[in-house]
Amino acid sequence: MRILLAGASGFLGTRLADVLVRDEHEVTRLVRRAPGGPQERRWDPAAGQLDPAVVAEADAVINLAGAGVGDKRWNDDYRRLIRTSRVDSTTTLATTIAGLPAADRPRVLLNSSAVGWYGNTGDRAVEEDAPAGEGFLADVCRVWEAATRPAEDAGVRVVRLRTGLPLHRDGGLLKPQLLPFKLGIAGRLGSGRQWLPWISMADWLDATRFLLDRDDLAGPVNVVGPNPVTNAEFTRELARQLHRPAVIPIPALALKVVLGGFSHEALTSTRVLPGVLTRAAYPYHHPTLPQ
């Protein structure tokens, strides 16, 4: 396929681009600077600027663009950036796709979203048919997903990737925890009873490729592992894998001091199951956390 990829420089995008190229797809990356080669095209999502001809060349569009949720301490300005970086990029792509003649439109748009859609579910397990929850990230996901509608209304298959917490030593949930765990100065967050919808990086990549090819799948898809765990269980398993103790719990108050507004999300319990992927018989590499 000829694939147009937004967010190619991020934690997930860099790895997905590499995998797609190895699969012998032709990957064109959207960048907000001067293009550095023939496989890059410039766009300005904040201004809604994207050359329609660039999109018309693609068989598929994958949008992973958005400021990192855990990259900085949250304040009002960073909250706005989290929201606008997602909504602006999605709106620009979806409206550009919709504005093309039907014969020139890509066949599919895979658009990033997040399990934050569900808010705090406590111990209640949810699948893709659950309504949006409450809270900042749930509100962001609501408008983020709504921004894909122009492409959907134009007849393009749209998949909303409600991604969980991909596990990889170089980023995401795992990287910031490795050093304190190795030093033996880490432990569960708050009560530890909150559920974590994790997925291995290998499964996130393969599930995304799976959804790229499955013309019968559309709408929201929970890109998570089939066996979520609590934070306490995650903590114990990570400590076991690193052969280190994990006996120093991090109180909720300390998280609020360090993380600011993000502390609420870090303590949120989101017990999400991959209903669509399970019914579609996606073959997980790592269905359990120890694996």
In a domain, 106, yes or no: yes
Q: Which two tokens stand for residue 106?
A: 């890509």
In a domain, 247, yes or no: no
Domain that holds residue 110: 2-166+199-225+272-280
In a domain, 119, yes or no: yes
The backbone torsions φ and ψ at residue 14, rounded to the nearest 5 degrees and listed phi first, read: -60, -40
Q: State what percent of residues in the chain have pLDDT above 90.
A: 74
- Strand ranges for 94-237 from DSSP E: 108-114, 157-163, 165-168, 171-172, 195-196, 198-200, 219-223, 229-230
- Tens-digit pLDDT profile for residues 260-284: 555 555 678 999 999 999 999 999 9
What are the residue ranges of helices labelled H in 183-274? 201-213, 231-242, 252-259, 262-266
Structural domain count, the chain: 1
- Tens-digit pLDDT profile for residues 160-209: 999 999 999 887 777 777 777 787 777 777 788 999 999 999 999 999 99
In a domain, 264, yes or no: no
- Tens-digit pLDDT profile for residues 38-80: 999 999 999 999 999 999 999 999 999 998 887 677 788 989 9
End-to-end CA distance of the chain: 32
In a domain, 31, yes or no: yes
In a domain, 129, yes or no: yes
The pTM is what?
0.92
Confidence check: pLDDT of 225 > 80: yes
In a domain, 192, yes or no: no
| pLDDT score for 222 | 98
DSSP state of 221: E
In a domain, 244, yes or no: no
Task: Supply the CATH number for residue 159's domain.
Answer: 3.40.50.720
